[in-house]
Structure 1
Amino acid sequence: MDVAAALLASGVQDSEPSFALFAQSLDPHWVEQALRATGTATIRRRKLPAEYVVWLVIGMAMLRDRSIAEVVRHLDLVMPVPTGERQHVSGGAVVQARDRLGPEPLAWLFHASAAVWASASADEYRWCGLAILGVDGSTLCVPDSPENDAHFGRAGTSRGEAAAAYPQLRLVTLMVLRSHLLVDAAFGPYSDSELSLAQRLWPRLPERSLVIVDRGFANYENFQRLADPAHQRYWLTRAKQGQRMAALRVIRKLGSGDTLVELRPSRCTRRLHPSLPETLTVRAIQYQRKGFKPQTLLTSLLDAVAFPAAEIIALYHERWELELAYDEVKTHTLEREEASLRCRNPQRVSQELWGLTLAYNLVRLTMADVARRAGVLPNQISYRHTLHFVRAFWISAWLASPGVLPKRLQSLYNELPLLVLPPRRNRAYPRAVKIKMSNYPRKRPRSQTNGVN
């Protein structure tokens, strides 16, 4: 059942909390299984049951501009008393309920739902019979608390300061590039490298797939690990800036700027990984776009007939869909706060992050439904407007009587043309900002400064 059908079907019920209007897109049985699989299901019926806390954590990401207390209220997440009246739940009770739940059920739920949603989406938008996936990393700031500082650590700065203003976690995601649905995610302290975090994601690559990776992941070990022609698993990346084509041994020329070349591991790689083969055959495709420097793509797609060079060049630029996805999360979902996440404790940060990935996928699932109705691709739908659409409906579901919700939903779907984006223009963005920094002095931990009344 798609999201719209689920919402319309559930709109006739008058005894469910408002979040249940979305519960059919996130199968309630998954929530139950997540609680049982992680040992967090309880018999005792509390004011804030575990299954409601799951929706609270998702709602915290979806309704970023609301306090946690408001999210509880908007989603009607407190069990009623026998008289039918809703009970009040204190902030301390919410914290205790979240701590009882922990991050594990949210992680389990994300992986279970992503396995279904992302797999179906990848099948829907294949290229040459292959699912098109991408891997890249980013960082998120967390609140400046002693616990977060000790666990996640901080980045250094380029201005001579000892460390950055906020602790940061490092995040690497595996995504279906043509729908932006997340397949998997791995995160850890800032000191964890993207390469080490990505090791957790490589086993999730399905058969008959092509993973497009940033050149930071381009190394001999990954080239060998990700290439699996027997199961039709392939990779594509851009050569590193210092990797000269003249230094590569050409095996065979396939066409203009299209050759099979031989790679050899460095001495360091050979010493660390003695089991790696002596050589690896890859395909090198050279091209130059007007106004840009010449570029070289490296790939394990060796068949020039099945995988034409011109199509591979065009396909590589879909890697930027992952950069856009990080922008959707940071700028629009988290609204570019200084501290991206809310929680001051590492366990709650982990829980919140899994809730964020679930919320993002729910919005993206709605966008896929909108795209089908509008007859366009999911990346032609506005994430920002869809997020506002979902937020508005969640809040209106709390305020409106159940009987009018199907009509309200239908009126929202009548505005679908507003969500369709115009064709993308060819644009280039220099890595520069207009405002570099604030003129105010830096606020240091536990320091007292003179303020202005």
Structure 2
Amino acid sequence: MPRPGQVKSSTGERFSDRIALGVLTRAFPPELVDEVVAGCGRVEQRRRLLPARVVVYFVLAMCLFSGQGYEEVARLLTQGLERERRWVGTWRVPTTGAIGRARLRLGPEPLRVLFARVCRPVAVPGTVGAWYRGRRLVAVDGTTFDLPDSEANAGFFGRPGTSRGQGRSAYPQARVAVLVECGTHVVFAADVAPLAVRETIAARRLFASLEPGMLLLADRGFHDFELWRAASATGADLLWRIKGNAVLPVLASLPDGSYLSEIFAGHDRRRVDPIRVRVVEYTLGPGGGEEIVYRLITTVHDPSAAPAAESAALYHERWEIETALDEIKTHQGGPGHVLRSRHPAGVEQEILGVLLVHHALRDLMHHAARDVDCDPDRLSFIRTLRVVRRHVTGQAAFSPLPTRRRTPRHPV
């Protein structure tokens, strides 16, 4: 007698072959997921209640419905097929423990490959707000995710110290560096690392995704000679804020008020290997009050290609990456959100799932904005998230309800 998870329809399909997630299935079609799963060697040797393709979609669904328990997410994926009589037979909802073991079998690699295959910049030449004089605006930044307090997570990722230096934080944290397309908020490169890995090191791993025709924005926390050298070597142009105490000799004054200068490696005391940069300085602040001095350096040396006033205004587009991270952590995840995964491999898998879901939402918003020729920033991420959640639950004929979560025997 076949197991419930192996019940077939009259066409010979398995129940799990019919699983779909609306917008997420559009962004990550079954054929692509199957190809990625096979390429990563995760194809099952025997029929399971939770085949690898279903587990991939489960991870995406749990990152869309961050407040739901494992078993409710599993019902969301499948119950509607029975209620709409699109399936003859029964399908047993897996237990929390079974789902945890299935996530362990899958591991993070298929999600990593799926991210690399799908998550690219999406702006086209007509996308409003995504370009500056033919250059695609992108930004780099980092953030942290709170993790469940398990020995495995604490041992691998580490904990931050408290603000007063007394003890350590209640939660381990993972460091995540990202590249974001400013005009669409699409994350197109990401690196997940332990907290001890410096933000600049994690960011450098992303530079393979930069290319000529991009203009990379970064705040002063990323100013580092070697990091600048590595980023500029990709052919992308750079516009970074620099620390106020950096020594920038004036080599030549330019008509727009900017000037040419040089930066050096911190260990290069003889200054024999400089990099030529152009410097833009300006102040912001209320009249008569305290003003903040901004100093920007750029690879665009010709002031006619990026005048100082425009460069100063352009730098503040970097805040779009802060907005994208807020969408991911506060709205998609929820205020005070702590990831589910109690094992490092599951943490990376889950973070990649969160980023994949955000990419699907933002790509959908980009297409909607193009249809009406407006800036994607004018569309509400929160409303889009709600619409997509309703669409998925409506498709499954199921309204998710909170449930009591069980502790899996093999947590991930």
TM-score by length of 2: 0.84
Q: CA deviation at 1:375?
A: 2.5
Tell me: CA distance 1:160–1:314, structure 2 relative to 1, closer, same or farther (3 Å): closer
- 393, 396, 399: which one aligns with 1:398: 396
For the aligned residues, what is the CA RMSD?
Answer: 2.4
What is the match of residue 218 of structure 2? 213
1:48, 1:79 within 8 Å by CA — same for their partners in 2?
A: no
What is the match of residue 36 of structure 1? 38
What is the match of residue 305 of structure 2? 306
Structure 2 residues without counterparts, runs of 5 or longer:
1-16, 399-412
What is the match of residue 57 of structure 1? 59
1:30, 1:112 within 8 Å by CA — same for their partners in 2?
A: no
Deviation larger for 34-43 or 81-90: 81-90
Q: Secondary structure at the match of 1:211?
A: strand
Tell me: CA distance 1:122–1:73, structure 2 relative to 1, closer, same or farther (3 Å): farther
Q: CA deviation at 1:122?
A: 8.1
Q: How does 1:62-101 map to 2 (within 5 A)?
A: 62-76=64-78, 83-101=88-106
Q: How does 1:18-417 map to 2 (within 5 A)?
A: 18-19=20-21, 22-76=24-78, 83-115=88-120, 118-120=121-123, 124=127, 125-228=130-233, 232-243=235-246, 247-266=247-266, 268=267, 270=268, 278-291=273-286, 292-337=291-336, 340-399=338-397
Instruction: Give me the whole-angstrom Cα distance separating, in 2, the residues matched to 1:174 and 1:142.
Output: 22
Report % sequence identity.
33
Q: CA deviation at 1:130?
A: 1.3
Instruction: Give me the whole-angstrom Cα distance separating, in 1, the residues matched to 2:58 and 2:342.
Output: 17
1:53, 1:101 within 8 Å by CA — same for their partners in 2?
A: yes
Tell me: CA distance 1:114–1:82, structure 2 relative to 1, closer, same or farther (3 Å): closer
Deviation larger for 87-96 or 318-327: 87-96
Instruction: Give me the whole-angstrom Cα distance separating, in 2, the residues matched to 1:161 and 1:211.
Output: 38
Instruction: Give me the whole-angstrom Cα distance separating, in 1, the residues matched to 2:179 and 2:387.
Output: 26
Q: CA deviation at 1:264?
A: 2.7
Instruction: Give me the whole-angstrom Cα distance separating, in 2, the residues matched to 1:265 and 1:345.
Output: 39
Letter in 1 for 2:259: T
Instruction: Give me the whole-angstrom Cα distance separating, in 1, the residues matched to 2:228 and 2:347.
Output: 33
Q: Secondary structure at the match of 2:78?
A: coil
Q: Secondary structure at the match of 1:53?
A: helix
Q: CA deviation at 1:282?
A: 0.4
Instruction: Give me the whole-angstrom Cα distance separating, in 2, the residues matched to 1:248 and 1:242.
Output: 9
1:235, 1:301 within 8 Å by CA — same for their partners in 2?
A: yes
Q: CA deviation at 1:21?
A: 6.0
2:204, 2:227 within 8 Å by CA — same for their partners in 1?
A: no
Q: CA deviation at 1:84?
A: 2.6
Instruction: Give me the whole-angstrom Cα distance separating, in 2, the residues matched to 1:77 and 1:114.
Output: 30
Q: CA deviation at 1:232?
A: 4.3
TM-score by length of 1: 0.77
Q: CA deviation at 1:44?
A: 2.9
1:103, 1:347 within 8 Å by CA — same for their partners in 2?
A: yes
Instruction: Give me the whole-angstrom Cα distance separating, in 1, the residues matched to 2:214 and 2:317.
Output: 15
2:178, 2:190 within 8 Å by CA — same for their partners in 1?
A: yes
2:81, 2:396 within 8 Å by CA — same for their partners in 1?
A: no
Instruction: Give me the whole-angstrom Cα distance separating, in 2, the residues matched to 1:71 and 1:211.
Output: 38
Letter in 2 for 1:319: R
Structure 1 residues without counterparts, runs of 5 or longer:
1-14, 401-453
Q: CA deviation at 1:120?
A: 4.9
What is the match of residue 438 of structure 1? none
Higher relative contact order (CA 8 A, sep 6+): 2
Letter in 2 for 1:288: T
Instruction: Give me the whole-angstrom Cα distance separating, in 1, the residues matched to 2:195 and 2:149.
Output: 14
Q: CA deviation at 1:27?
A: 3.0
